[in-house]
Amino acid sequence: MLIDTYGRVATDLRVSLTDRCNLRCTYCMPEEGLQWLAKPDLLSDDEIVRLIDIAVTRLGITEVRFTGGEPLLRPGLVGIVERVAELEPRPQMSLTTNGIGLKRTATALKAAGLDRVNVSLDTLRPDVFKTLTRRDRHKDVIEGLEAARAADLTPVKVNSVLMPGLNENEAPDLLAWAVEHDYELRFIEQMPLDAQHGWKRDGMVTAGDILASLRTRFELTEEGSEERGSAPAERWVVDGGPHRVGVIASVTRPFCSACDRTRLTADGQVRTCLFAREETDLRATLRSDAPDEEIARIWRLAMWGKKAGAGLDDPTFVQPDRPMSAIGG
């Protein structure tokens, strides 16, 4: 079991498969990209599967989310999913992606055992997409979403970040589109995880702003804390149902007290929180031929020291020194 001193138990493992990405989203990384991890620093497919095996069979993990960077850039992704699906007990598996490669991989991922996907899409307008991501790939994302739905990687969730001066007024249009296509839309407050450290709290589009905008067109009924559980998204029923919309208010309405996540970076570091500045190295232990129980012991110790909260409301908050692409969302 992965328990911390505040009694929280981690059952959800986020695994970053690569720090690389084929987009350059303005809220994540600079236009020229980043200095990528060297290949020897990355965990191999076998190492990733072994660590997930330890997490599932020894530490109580029941859900595994594959992230990046962009996880579809990982050549061995389908094989990793297939091997994790064979674990006993079998964890639920999902993938967070920008959707660009889903058209060609959705069917294979479903056959390998992937349960569902979260696709990032911040706008319905190709020109705004190009401005936000610095790439002209909007059509590819739309086709990827359609392929995920056709492959039954459901519910297909769409993650959107609203940025002032770019897409802040698109919330109602995005929700209408998601309802029409049977996607579950979730808005995410912009978080301080950009490589340029350009995030400013007073300039962000808040959960309150998003909900006010949605209510100009839709009737929203709050789902309630019992339905939410430890999920990061607060959800509302749209116009009486059955569709729902979520808002992840990491900054203005933090949910740290219910957090059930542990994170593994692409280079084998345990992170207890997206905003943590400390990491625990499992890669070195793994490569020293340590037994599974020793790796599990180090992982338990790392999670025992998890802090009470991310500290975003603290005026002395210092942004993590790794951008979101290197940590995994």
The CATH code of the domain that includes 281 is 3.20.20.70
Is 259 annotated to bind a ligand? Reply is: yes
pLDDT at 310: 64
Whether pLDDT at 195 is above 70: no
Nearest partner of 245 among 155, 307, 133, judged by Cα: 155
Whether pLDDT at 320 is above 60: no
Q: Which residue has the higher pLDDT, 225 or 45?
A: 45
Domain count across the chain: 1
Is 303 annotated to bind a ligand? Reply is: no
Q: Which residue has the higher pLDDT, 281 or 312?
A: 281
Phi, psi angles (nearest 5°) of residue 303: -75, -30
Whether pLDDT at 311 is above 70: no
Whether pLDDT at 180 is above 90: yes
Is 94 annotated to bind a ligand? Reply is: no
Which of these ranges, 55-69, 158-172, 196-210, has the smallest mean pLDDT? 196-210
Range 1-20 average pLDDT = 95
Confirm if 167 and 187 have CB atoms less than 8 A apart: no
Is 65 annotated to bind a ligand? Reply is: yes
Query: Could you list the residue range(s) of the whole structural domain that residue 270 is in?
Result: 2-326
Query: Hey, what amino acid is at 255?
Result: F
pLDDT at 196: 47
Summarised one tens digit per residue, pLDDT across range 92-127 is 999 999 999 999 999 999 999 999 999 999 999 999
Is 201 annotated to bind a ligand? Reply is: no
Q: Which DSSP symbol is given to 95?
A: E
Is 206 annotated to bind a ligand? Reply is: no
Phi, psi angles (nearest 5°) of residue 287: -85, 0
Whether pLDDT at 255 is above 70: yes
Q: Where are the alpha helices (DSSP H) in the chain?
A: 45-58, 77-85, 102-112, 126-133, 138-150, 171-181, 207-214, 225-228, 283-287, 292-304, 324-327
- Residue whose tokens read 């340029």: 196
Tokens matching residue 199: 């995030």
Is 21 annotated to bind a ligand? Reply is: yes
Query: Hey, what amino acid is at 246?
Result: G
d(CA 188, CA 167): 13
Q: Which residue has the higher pLDDT, 27 or 118?
A: 118
Summarised one tens digit per residue, pLDDT across range 267-304 is 999 999 887 888 999 999 999 999 999 999 999 999 99
Question: How far are the Cα atoms of 81, 266, 278, 321 from residue 302, in angstroms, in the given order?
Answer: 26, 17, 10, 19
Give this prediction's pTM: 0.89
Question: How far are the Cα atoms of 75, 119, 125, 172, 213 from residue 175, in angstroms, in the given order?
Answer: 33, 14, 14, 5, 11
Is 262 annotated to bind a ligand? Reply is: yes
Is 14 annotated to bind a ligand? Reply is: yes
Is 157 annotated to bind a ligand? Reply is: yes
pLDDT at 316: 47
Is 28 annotated to bind a ligand? Reply is: yes
